[in-house]
Structure formats: C-alpha cells, structure tokens
Amino acid sequence: MRRLVVVALALGAATVARAEGPTAVDQLPKVTSSGPLSVDGGLVLALPATWETGLSTGAGVGVGYGRRFVLGARASWSTSTESSLTWTVSHQDMRLRVTGALQRAVGRGAFALRLGVGPTLVYEDRVRNQGARAGLTGSALETTALATMPAGEIEAVVSVHVGGPWLLVLSGGPSLVLSDGAWYGGWTTQLGVGWQP
C-alpha cells in the first residue's frame, strides 16, 4: 500500500503545471532579399521539340529583372532517345529565349505568367541498329543533322522564398515550335532553385 501511495505521489508531481509556457519561435528562416534581380536553374522535363512522343530531360537556367513586369533571358538543354527495329535516334534540344513576365508577390512567394520566344536548335543523331556488325560505314551507318526553328512558351511560374536569398522555383506550360512549315505543340516544365539578392 505504501508503495502505491509513493507511485501516485510521484506521478502527481510529474504532471504539475509550469507557470511559463513554451516560447513562440518562427519556424521559417527569415527572408533577406527582395531585389529586382533573380537567377534560377534546375531540372527540365519537356516534350521533344519535333517529336509527339517521349520525354526530353536536361537542365535550364534563367535570369530576370523587375518586380511587377520582369524582363529576362533563359537557356535550356535537354535530350531524348527513341528506338525502332532499324534506327536509334537521339535528339538534343537547345532552347534560347527572351522572356517577359507579369508577376505578383504574395507572402513569401510570387506567381507569374511568363512568355518566352526565341530559337530552338535541334541536333539529331541517327544510328542504324546492328549496322556496324553488318559492315556499314559512313552515312549508311550514322547520320546527323542540325536545325534551328522559331519557338515559344507560355509558362506559369511559382517561386517561394525558403530562406535568405534562396527560392524554390517551379514553372511549366505549353510550347509551340515551327518546323518545315508545320506547328508542333508540346509542353515544358522546370523545377529548380533560385537566388534573389
């Protein structure tokens, strides 16, 4: 019985309320930037420029200047490979864009609608499967081509300050390429980090 009383008193003493509560702490790092210059880069996922199938992966970078209306430039490189019974074809898409965006700051982040126009360079490497074993050489075995096409995108952009001058940036939207008199529709996305001094 005496042990039971001691255990009950010990449990009661352990649950005694304290007068002072926990101190409130801001869990998010402080934002130390709000200038008009921003730089970002990251992973690019897109539909290949002139193909209606597959996934082109690579990297992209961009720079912008402005608060409400942002002028900038972007560049990206991505690659994709497709195979058939006869050929293995690799495409490298290089996108160069001049951009203009309407941006609105909300809390720790910003929403923007960005239009980009400029050339897309497509480098194609086509290799005949098992051609080397068959003794093929030169253009019978492998061909390459480089083409430049006018193109553009409209992207929705979301950027969020994660601490100091650093941002998390996500963008994506439809794209359009003019090749051999025909328009090819596609899409492009980028997930990366940004820096705003």
The answer to whether 173 touches 155, Cβ cutoff 8 Å, is yes
Confidence at residue 56, expressed as pLDDT on a 0 to 100 scale: 94
Joined tokens for residue 47: 């539909």
pLDDT in tens, 26-48: 555 676 667 899 999 999 999 98
Q: Measure CA 50 to chain center.
A: 20
Instruction: Label residue 65 by pLDDT band (50, 70, 90).
Output: very high
The mean pLDDT of 8-30, rounded to a whole number, is: 56
Cβ atoms within 10 A of the Cβ of 177, count?
23
Residue 141, classed as helix, strand or coil, is: coil
- Domains of the chain with CATH codes: 32-81+91-119+145-195 (2.40.160.20)
pTM summary value: 0.77
pLDDT in tens, 86-102: 888 898 999 999 999 99
Helices (H) and strands (E) in the chain, counts: 1, 8
The mean pLDDT of 152-180, rounded to a whole number, is: 93
